[in-house]
Amino acid sequence: PRSIWLSRHGESQYNETGQIGGDAELSANGEMYSRKLPKMVRDSVGDDRPLTVWTSTLKRTISTAKHLPKEYNQLQWKALDELDAGVCDGLTYAEIEEQYPEDFKARDDDKYNYRYRGGESYRDVVIRLEPIIMELERSEDILIITHQAVLRCIYAYFMKKSQEDSPWMAVPLHTLIKLTPRAYGTEEQRYKANI
């Protein structure tokens, strides 16, 4: 690709309450980000460059993309959905620690390999992202609006960072990341929305 733009979805109602997973709508701040995103993208991409937008199948990424120009092709990928927290879906971290203390500790000890009961590990997500990465490698400019865990894996791939460390990497909300692969490595730029 020439460049890849990456963003988490705007803040969701679950982000406000500290719950993980789910399929919540955007919060008022998240809604504001969805309205600011078109200009941020246009300023970075340029007016006349066509862009393809990939989202997950969850409401918070689709809503984040909803004000982008209609001329942009949009595609929803199940493979871009958030890491599946299984039985912990919808809980806060405090509730997980209280209800599943051994799991909470096991995840902290080996976050990359820990698989939620009835759900996924980061290793699982890296594997399900393989078709996405292959498609990305042979595509032109793409904007991907996805979730923190998924974004960590895609980012680590292009920045040649260790996947085992990526589960600990903080990816801020309301920030557009531009990655441009070059012969000597991947160039990175970040644009923070004023929210």
Q: Is 167 in the site for ligand G3H (CB under 6 A)?
A: yes
Q: Is 173 in the site for ligand G3H (CB under 6 A)?
A: no
Q: Is 148 in the site for ligand G3H (CB under 6 A)?
A: yes
Among the listed ranges 23-31, 72-80, 94-102, 145-153, the one in contact with ligand G3H (CB under 6 A) is 145-153
Q: Which of 144, 23, 11, 9 is nearest to 85 (CA)?
A: 23
Task: Identify which of residues 128 and 147 has a Cβ nearer to ligand G3H in the complex.
Answer: 147
Q: Is 144 in the site for ligand G3H (CB under 6 A)?
A: no
CA angle (189, 65, 78) in 5-degree steps: 95
User: Which residue in the list 16, 31, 67, 82 is annotated as catalytic?
Assistant: 82
Instruction: Name, in order, each residue with C-beta under 8 angstroms of 8's C-beta and a sequence gap of 6 or more.
Output: 145, 146, 147, 148, 151, 171, 172, 173, 174, 175
Task: Identify which of residues 173 and 179 has a Cβ nearer to ligand G3H in the complex.
Answer: 173
Catalytic residue list contains 31:
no
| Count of beta carbons in the 10 Å neighbourhood of residue 98 | 11
Q: Is 20 in the site for ligand G3H (CB under 6 A)?
A: yes
Between CA 42 and CA 36 the distance in angstroms is: 10
Q: What are the residues binding ligand G3H (CB under 6 A)?
A: 20, 82-83, 147-149, 167
